[in-house]
Amino acid sequence: MDDFSKIIINAIDQIKNAVVKIDVFREQNGRKVPAGSGSGFVFSSDGFIFTNAHVIAKAGTIRVTLLDGTEMDATITGKDPDSDIAILKVYSNGYSVAKLGDSQELRIGQFLIAIGNPLGYQHSVSTGVLSGVGRTLRTSTGQVIDNVLQTDAPLNPGNSGGPLINTDGEVVGINTAIIGGAQGLSFAIDINLAKEIAQQLIQHGKVTKAYLGLMIQEIEIHPRLRNFHKLKNTKGLLVSGIHDHSPAKKAQMKEGDIVIEFDGQMIFSSAGLFKLLTAERINRSVTIKVIRRGSVQELMIVPAMKNITLVP
């Protein structure tokens, strides 16, 4: 067997017993009927499972199936539709626990592996490379998800919620979406963001975050700009879109701005910005520093409560 195949097999062996098939049922006329299926993976020894919020959106009853066919019921610990992340919990055993990686260490072109249950084919494997990091994704329902990884690993319905792993078998993302009609465009939620969301869902059952209204993607800052402005940032967040009536719009941010600092703290990644969008900053005026047309500008912005309806 060739060395490359051995690397893939070894990575899969480290996580395969943590990957689960998720079947969702709802009540109809006094009986349970199927309402969808997807994937997930156990990430803690006490039975917490990552999946997508849209996988369990219509759930009445949730059944989890391990690789060896063992079935168990799961309960919902919490879900956050804004990030498309949900946490389930099982109270049985027989599973192993996935090792979570650090998505900040990812590099464009890195080889990645997706595992899930596409179209009901349990524990299917597909491979690809990392095409982009720190993306903002607008789903078919209009939902905007931040901190998204872009890959060309083929995904299909049923892959949602499954792990995206590196060749060390570490989870670096949660597979979430494909673009209909496109080829080589698949997306996964950054695992560093998922960790932050999981902490809040497990502790509080919900997520309270501040909202700016930006669509962003991570980019390298040109060395000439860094040297001219004496910046320590090697990366920034390119603003690719601004939501109407949002805090960013009111702060007069513009598409093409590169965010380098928020509330006095340097920004190197979209996950880094997300960590700073805490409940304490809601409705409080803070500074946001951007590169605009080659110059550094400081603006004032007032983050809003996530999930509220903004009006003019």
Which residues are annotated as catalytic? 54, 84, 160
Contact, 302 vs 271, CB < 8 A?
no
Contact, 91 vs 47, CB < 8 A?
yes
User: Residues with Cβ < 8 Å from 242, sequence gap 6 or more?
Assistant: 213, 214, 215, 248, 249, 253, 254, 255
The Cα–Cα gap between 94 and 106 comes to 31
The Cα–Cα gap between 231 and 65 comes to 50
Strands 99-100 and 170-178 turn out to be parallel
Q: Which of 256, 255, 253 is nearest to 289 (CA)?
A: 253
Q: What is the C-alpha R_g of the chain?
A: 20
The Cα–Cα gap between 233 and 30 comes to 59
Contact, 145 vs 83, CB < 8 A?
yes
Phi, then psi, of 130 in degrees rounded to 5? -75, 120
Contact, 232 vs 111, CB < 8 A?
no
What residue type is assigned to position 150 of the chain? Answer: Q
